[in-house]
Structure 1
Amino acid sequence: MVHFGRNTLERLARFGYGARGVVYCVVGALAVLAAVGQGGRADDSKGALRAVLGGPLGAWIVGLIALGLAGFALWRLVEGVTDADNRGRSLKGLVVRAAHVGSAAIYGGLALTAASLALGLGLHRGGEDGLQDWTAWLLAKPLGLWLVALIGLGVMGGGVAFGLKAWKGDVTERLALDAAACRWAKPIGRFGYAARGVAFLIIGGFFVAAAWHQASSEVKGLAGAFAALRAQPYGWVLLAVVAAGHFAFGAFGLIQARYRRIDAPDLDEADDVVARAVRSVT
């Protein structure tokens, strides 16, 4: 029997942080180019994957990103269910762990999208079209309007959390870096988290607007958030700043891939814990 130890999960997690970092570097770079009128496109992570696919060795690179994102999704799931980061059972700890499980689902879906692109299977409906489809389905259900509003408030809460993390400056607390290295890594992370906070606030606002107007067409993702910024007075400046922040978020992901402290449980033990958690809610 092959035994997969904690080092296997740690390597998958680091590969995942790196893959996520690459995706957001591309997202940010393209949006910056769009802001300054140099031919880029302010798009979401799926748009970034399509852009990479069109480059040299695009299918191979997107395939590697797919593997990395799958590893990141697995790490987020294990992180949330087993409390690998010792968040605890306080309200704040449980909220963070729940957010990690939700993140696992999101990045797992993005990994499937990347894999389908790499294999030439086409891209299923996603991005804003997919969000609007799901929102329309939810709005048609009993209490769906309230659920959509709660999702929006939850996303906005995530934006506030990103903003507070950037404000407090504790973005490097889980990095194995000395004080000198933290002085250059911390501003990158704070800028990146602040930009993600702005995007989450806007995206959450779209969901609240969809509930208020009972119209799924109000829902938009990151591309919609970029477009909303661009539509403001001096919007190209706002877009350029937030886009550069997303590039910084991606760069910080590459730093995390190398220096984050990852206290990964044994993969076989983690599998048992996840299985028990799934059985407990089914």
Structure 2
Amino acid sequence: MTLSDTISNTLPTNSRTGLRTLARLGFAAKGTVYGLMGLLALLAATGQQEGQTADKKQAVQTLQGLPGGPVLLGLIALGLLAYIVWRLVQAVRDTEDKGSDTGGIARRVGYAASGLVYASLAWYAAQLALSGSADSGSDAKQTLTARVLAWPAGEWIIMLVGVGTIGVGLYQFYQAYSGKFHKHVQSSDIPAGQQNTVYRLGQIGYTARGIVLAIIGYFFIQAGRQSRATAVGSTDEAFDFLANMGPVVLGIVALGLMAYGLYMLVQAKYPVLKV
């Protein structure tokens, strides 16, 4: 019996059910955000009048103009909060059996970080839902970068952040083509005729996500090399970078992010949760 099995068996049934619900809500919210980003980028690539590339916050903001927008935004905020809680549970309870050695602790910290990165997005969606307006803090990344650049060896720190981000992007490629990403989905529960389609969606989605992360990492490296905080960019700027290569390139990556969003929705319905 693994450690996660032991932990799972010691948790009350209601607690396990609640944690699983949190995880599923989180995957659904994350999938919706990525799907919106991909859709907006695809509209831009195909020259639609309303098309525009967008980062996560801008994608969430598009929900505001839809019927029931505040409700949808509230659901996204709650879903992202649920995702954050689930990732913290994974880190603290070690549900994935990573252990307490150096490598295991690093992986568990990674789980927590991957959840907390959505904290500002959850708060942004909540503000939009409650008051109809919110400060996107679009230049917060550049402000923080400028502060770090002012430190001794700040340029090297920013470049290391860039290398690390590229590394995360490359890990997405590894996940895609090793098939390891699929272990988080209960594929046996998916109708037989759809299993291969779902797997391909995941491969395409993780590849597209890896491309975007690698470009963002490149922006950080350029910011460090040039000692210029304004060189840092987010998903929106990554899309613009791809658009400069042509609408076909942007369209392909946009479709990939939509595929990633759909795969997250599948994971929400058929998750493998060790709790």
TM-score higher than 0.5: yes
1:200 corresponds in structure 2 to 213
**Alignment partner for residue 195 of structure 2, among 157, 170, 182?**
182
2:260 corresponds in structure 1 to 249
TM-score (norm 2): 0.89
Give the deviation of 1:122 after TM superposition. 2.6
Structure 1 residue 14 and structure 2 residue 1: aligned? Answer: no
Structure 2: runs of 5+ lacking an equivalent = 1-11
Q: Distance in 2 between matches of 1:237 and 1:93?
A: 41
Query: For the aligned residues, what is the CA RMSD?
Result: 1.7
Q: Distance in 1 between matches of 2:250 and 2:52?
A: 11
Please list, as runs of the form range in 1=range in 2, the aligned pairs for 1:132-281 lying within 5 A after superposition. Answer: 132-178=142-188, 180=192, 181-232=194-245, 235-264=246-275
Q: Which moved more, 1:87-96 or 1:185-194?
A: 87-96
Q: Distance in 1 between matches of 2:132 and 2:62?
A: 16
Query: Is the Cα contact below 8 Å between 1:172 and 1:185 reproduced in 2?
Result: no
Q: Distance in 1 between matches of 2:154 and 2:88?
A: 26
Amino acid at match of 1:42: T
In the TM superposition, what whole-angstrom CA distance separates every residue of 1:194-250 from its partner, at most 9, and x where no partner exists?
Answer: 000000000001001111100000000000000000012xx1011001011110110
Q: Distance in 2 between matches of 1:102 and 1:204?
A: 17
1:113 corresponds in structure 2 to 124
Distance 1:56 1:87, change over 3 A: same
Structure 1: runs of 5+ lacking an equivalent = 265-282
Query: Is the Cα contact below 8 Å between 2:183 and 2:272 reproduced in 1?
Result: no
SS at match of 1:119: helix
TM-score (norm 1): 0.87
Q: Provide the identity percentage.
A: 37
SS at match of 2:182: coil
Structure 1 residue 76 and structure 2 residue 76: aligned? Answer: no
1:131 corresponds in structure 2 to 141
Give the deviation of 1:6 after TM superposition. 1.7
Structure 1 residue 45 and structure 2 residue 56: aligned? Answer: yes
Give the deviation of 1:172 after TM superposition. 1.3
